[in-house]
């Protein structure tokens, strides 16, 4: 029951981000959005749905405020839907170290393999009889 409640809350939070509207709070340069077959300039105060495609050329930027209050800055030389451009990037980092296998106790006796079991069939080979 507890997992179901947590899942329901998580689903609500994710859906709020997925279908959120974004309000333009600042524009630098010539940022455009695709409307039908035309490019329309993005202006401060515009409301953009998450599926709207925006084009931010090099040197341009747009600051968006999500319905949740989160502020997102989309810098220049990026094109795509608002949802794609405002998605939180996750950087996975870590340290990889070598494992010391010198102290491992290796057991080599008593391990059967396919080649050990196949040795019983050596007398059935017709080529060996010739």
Average pLDDT, the chain: 76
* pTM of the predicted protein model: 0.54
Percent of the chain past pLDDT 90, that is, above it, reads 32
Among 26, 29, 27, 86, smallest CA distance to 53 is for 86
Which residues are CB-contacts of 83 (< 8 A; sequence separation ≥ 6)?
18, 50, 51
Enclosing H/E stretch for 116: helix 114-118
Q: What are the sequence ranges of the domains in the chain? A: 2-85
- % of the chain at pLDDT higher than 70: 58
CA–CA separation, 33 vs 42, rounded Å? 6
**pLDDT at position 77:** 85
Q: Residue 4 has what pLDDT?
A: 67
Token pair belonging to 126: 């017709």
Give me the pLDDT at residue 75, please: 86
Place 3 in a pLDDT band, splitting at 50, 70 and 90: confident
pLDDT of 78: 85
d(CA 56, CA 84): 13
How many other β-carbons are positioned within 10 Å of the β-carbon of residue 55? 17
Pairing label, strands 61-66, 71-75: antiparallel
Q: Report pLDDT for 31.
A: 94
Q: DSSP 3-state assignment of 68? A: coil
Q: State the pLDDT confidence band at 127, using cuts at 50, 70 and 90.
A: low
Report pLDDT digits (tens) over 16-71: 555 568 999 999 999 999 988 899 999 999 999 989 999 999 999 999 998 888 88
How far is the C-alpha of 105 from the C-alpha of 22, rounded, in Å?
A: 60
């Amino acid at each position: 029951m507890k997992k179901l409640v947590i899942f329901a809350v998580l689903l609500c939070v994710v859906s709020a981000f997925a279908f959120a509207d974004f309000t333009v709070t600042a524009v630098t340069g010539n940022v455009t959005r695709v409307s039908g077959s035309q490019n329309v300039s993005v202006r401060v105060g515009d409301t953009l749905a998450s599926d709207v495609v925006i084009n931010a050329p090099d040197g341009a930027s747009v600051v968006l405020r999500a319905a949740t209050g989160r502020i997102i800055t989309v810098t220049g030389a990026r094109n795509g839907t608002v949802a794609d451009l405002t998605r939180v990037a996750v950087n996975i980092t870590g340290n990889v170290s070598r494992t010391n296998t010198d102290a491992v106790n290796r057991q080599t006796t008593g391990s059967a393999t396919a080649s050990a079991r196949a040795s019983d069939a050596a007398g059935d080979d017709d080529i060996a009889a010739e």
